[in-house]
Structures are given as structure tokens and as C-alpha cells.
Structure 1
Amino acid sequence: MIRVLFVDDHEMVRIGVSAYLTTQEDIDVIAEAENGQDAVDLALSLRPDVILMDLVMDGMDGIEATRQIIAKWPEAKILIVTSFIDDDKVYPALEAGATSYLLKTSKADVIARAIRDTYNGESVLEKEVTAKMMAKFSSSHDVPLHDSLTKREMEILLLIAEGKTNQEIADQLFIALKTAKVHVSNILSKLEVQDRTQAAVYVYQNNLL
């Protein structure tokens, strides 16, 4: 059962989406919040498997809530569900640590599927978001950034793109967790990206898989 915290300042949205999610045998909405501060408090106390996060709310917004949750609980899996696709929402949300990003216009079954994928470590991005990320990462470098990666780093980069966690990477490659974390940090630095989601976008943009 995937335990979900649903954060949205519109009660009718919470009621409608929650009603659909309750029909899914593998998803359980364990709590709801209507603002960012409540989201942070509930996330840290309940430790849900996936957090559905709205962005524009009174008081603390979803970006700041995401940032605070990730700072105190880096393993949190946050799926943004919002009406906004503007650069000043997309980039800060992903840089704050969100795993996935969907629009509220998405069908209910798409949101349910995104919850499952996010729970399984995959990054689910609205196609407009993917296009924005690819455009942002387009580089004029004569030599592709990934050419600077070692063979081991390239191997780990592809595992990141597959949604593997640091622990799963360490187990698969028979290396220490600390070593895996160091490799991931080096990869993000060499590719000039902020997080694993952006690294995965880079992989697909450059057809590395």
C-alpha cells in the first residue's frame, strides 16, 4: 500500500482527487493539508511514501514546503501537482527536491500512475516540463559534458536515469553506499545539473540509454 499525503489549498480538489485515489487498491491517502506549513509538519511526522504537493498556497507555498521537507528528510518523494508551468515555478520546485511534476489538468488515472512511478523511484515530468528542462540544458559545449565522466560514473548515471536510489546503486555495483553517494555528487557536478531528476533528463536528451 502506497501511503500518500495530499497537499492542496482547495478543498474540492482534495475531495475529488482523494475520492478517486480511494478506489485504487494500492493507494491510501493517509492525511491532507491545505498549506505548506501543515505539509511540512505532517510529512515529517507521518513519513508518507509519496507527497502530492500543490505549489500556490496561502502562507508557505509548495516550493518552500518541498525545500524544508527535503532538507530534513532527503528521501522524501514529492510529486508536484499544480496549474502552473511557468519557469519561476518549474525550476525552483525541481531544484527544491521534487521528484515529479504534473499539471492539474492531468487525468485522475495519470496522477495515480505517477504516484506509483514516483514511489518506485522514477521521475514523472509533464511533457512541457521535459521540454523546458531539455532547452535549459542545451549546451554550446564543443565536447559533451558527459565525456568527462569516468566509465564507472557513466554506469551510475544510467542507473540514476532508471530511477535507482543510492542504496540500490551500491547494492547492484557491489560498492559502499558512501562511495555511491560520492560518485553521484561528482556526476551532478560534471553535468552541471542540480539533482537526479535533471541528470535523468540529461540522459534522455543525449540519448545515452
Structure 2
Amino acid sequence: MIEILIADNQTLTREGVKALLATMVDINIAASAAYPIELEKLINTYEPAVVLLDPYYSRRFTVDDVRHIMARYPHVRILILSNRQNREQIQEILDLGIKNYVFKECSREELVYAVYSTAKGEQFFCKNIFETLFGNKLIPEKADTLPQLSSRETELIYLIADGLTNNEIAEKLFLSVHTIKTHRKNIIRKLGFTFKNTAELAALLQKR
């Protein structure tokens, strides 16, 4: 069971995240905090695996709070969940060593992936983070005419971009490795190019 704390001073945000994750049987929202001092007490009480935190809204929580949690509670992994920020603000967070960041406009699927990835110590950024960081520079030339991908193929692209191997993806999706390899071949066949790096995968997702 992944124990989570939500740190956000917006009641609707806290309740909305709870509702989005409520159906996940292996995720438990232990508590939520509206103030830094409250968050620290809850960390000591629940010892969560993941803290969802917005360091930019209304100065209630700040980047300094992120630094404090990372320094005092190194076992706690932080997932940044914020409104859309500019490139400099995102980079400021990444420079602290944060590996997981999603905007509040992201999809439920991206949020769920982000929670699981954060809990496992793996990196995950929603597609809009890549768009803010890189713009359209990394989008393949034929991106505007890309054929439609199935939901499974799109899901697979996220997992590949997250650095998972074929075996890890197969285990996560309860599929055979052969099926994963087939999906990858189909994606390459549809798109007409191979995936050389994560940036290409992220650029593809920006356009969908």
C-alpha cells in the first residue's frame, strides 16, 4: 500500500486528488495538510511514501518547504503537483533533485503513473512539463500527420519514456514480454521512426 500525504491549501484540489485516486486499491490518502507546520506533523505521524506538494500557490507552501522535507525526511519522496509554471520555476525544482512533476491540468492517468513512479523512485513528468521545458523543438517533422495510436500504445509510450524495460512494462501491465515487443514494433511501424531518447517520446505525446 502506498501511503500518501497531500500538501495544498486549496480544499477543492485536495478533495479532487482524493477522488481521482480513491479507486486505486493500493494507494491510500493518509491525510492532507494546508500549512507547512501541519504537513511536518503528518509526516512524523504517518511516515508516508509520497507527498504531493504544490510549492507555488499563494506562498502557503514554497520551494524552501521542498528543500526542508528533502533534507529532514530523505525517505519521503516528493511529487510536485502544481498549476502551470514557467520554465525557470520548473527548472528550479528539478535542480533540487526532484524527479516527479505534473501540472494540475494533467490527466488522471498521468497522475496515477506519477504516484506509482514516485513511490518506486522512478522519474515521471507529465507531457505538459516537457512542452514547457522544450517547446516544439523536439517534435518530429511529421508529427502533425502522425497516425492514431491506440490507448495501449499511448500508455506504452509513457512507460518507455519513464525508462521502464520490456520486462518491467510487461509486469506492470500484466502482459507478456512478447506482447510488449509487438506493441513497440507497431508503434515504430505507425510512426515511421525509432525512439532514440526520452525527448522524442515526450515530443510525440505533446502533439496528441
TM-score range, shorter chain: 0.5 to 0.7
- Alpha-carbon distance between aligned partners in 2 of 1:67 and 1:45, rounded to the nearest angstrom: 20
1:48 matched to 2:61? The reply is no
Partner letter of residue 38 of structure 2? D
Query: Counterpart of 1:143?
Result: none
Q: Distance in 2 between matches of 1:78 and 1:129?
A: 16
Determine helix, strand or coil for the equivalent of 1:84. coil
> 1:12–1:128: structure 2 CA closer, same or farther, 3 Å change rule?
closer
Deviation at 1:132, TM superposition (A): 6.0
Q: Percent identity?
A: 25
DSSP 3-state at the match of 2:95: helix
Q: How many residues align?
A: 143
Q: Is the 8 A contact 2:101 2:126 kept in 1?
A: yes
Q: Comparing 15-24 with 2-11, which one deviates more in the overlay? A: 15-24
Q: Is the 8 A contact 1:3 1:49 kept in 2?
A: yes
2:90 counterpart of 1:81: no
Q: Distance in 2 between matches of 1:99 and 1:40?
A: 21
Aligned to 2:20: 20
Please name the residue that 1:193 is paired with: none
Q: By how many angstroms is 1:49 displaced?
A: 0.7
Inter-partner Cα distance in structure 1 for 2:122 and 2:116 = 9
Instruction: Mark the CA change 1:64 to 1:109 in structure 2 (over 3 Å): closer, same or farther.
Output: same
Q: Is the 8 A contact 2:4 2:48 kept in 1?
A: yes
Q: Cα RMSD (Å) of the superposition? A: 2.7
Q: How far 1:44 sits from its partner (Å)? A: 4.0
Q: For residues 20-73 of structure 1, what are the alpha-carbon distances to aligned partners after superposition, in whole Å with 9 as ceiling and x for unaligned?
A: 212210100001011333323322442211111112244552422111000112
- Change beyond 3 A, Cα 1:132–1:22: closer
Are the structure 2 counterparts of residues 60 and 13 from structure 1 closer, same or farther at C-alpha, using a change threshold of 3 Å?
closer
For 1:131 and 1:12, the matched residues in 2 are separated by 26
The gaps in structure 1 that reach 5 residues or longer are 136-160, 164-202
Q: Distance in 2 between matches of 1:58 and 1:205?
A: 32
Equivalent position of 2:38 in the other structure: 38
Structure 2 vs 1, CA of residues 132 and 11 (structure 1 numbering), >3 Å: closer, same or farther? closer
Q: TM-score, normalised by structure 2?
A: 0.59
Q: What TM-score does the superposition give when structure 1 sets the normalisation length? A: 0.58
- 2:6 touches 2:31 (CA, 8 Å); kept in 1? yes
Paired position in structure 1 for 2:127: 127
Q: CA 1:72/1:6 → structure 2, altered by over 3 Å: closer, same or farther?
A: same
| Aligned residue identity for 1:99 | K
**Within-5 A mapping of 1:103-118:** 103-118=103-118
Gapped regions of structure 2 (runs ≥ 5): 136-161, 165-196, 201-208
Q: Which residue of 2 aligns with 1:138?
A: none
Distance 1:16 1:92 in 2: 26
